[in-house]
Amino acid sequence: MVRFYCELCEKSQPVIIEPLQKDELNGEKIWGDILCAECRLVIATITADEPGQYEFVKVSEKIPIAE
């Protein structure tokens, strides 16, 4: 499980990723919030090229080392 540090809870918490979508306020921009699952504080606002439900996915066991 991916956790983000929540400044209100003062600890790392699971998060909720809102579905990314367009709205009247932001015109053509597709956006959604990452919320603390415990207190619902908005930790970050994110954008994407396409609307939809996004999630964090582990893609590798190894961390690439820059040379």
pLDDT digits (tens, 9 = 90+) for 30-63: 999 999 999 999 999 999 999 999 999 888 888 8
Expressed as residue numbers, the domain containing 20 is 3-47
Residue 18 maps to a domain: yes
In this predicted structure, what is the pLDDT of residue 67? 74
Residue 17 maps to a domain: yes
In this predicted structure, what is the pLDDT of residue 64? 78
**Number of independent structural domains in the chain:** 1
Interatomic CA distance for residues 38 and 28, integer angstroms? 31
Residue 21 maps to a domain: yes
Q: What is the pLDDT of residues 5-36, one digit of tens each?
A: 999 999 999 999 999 998 777 778 899 999 99
Q: pTM value?
A: 0.79
Residue 65 maps to a domain: no
Q: Tabulate helix, strand, coil % of the chain (nearest 5).
A: 0, 40, 60
pLDDT at 65 over 90: no
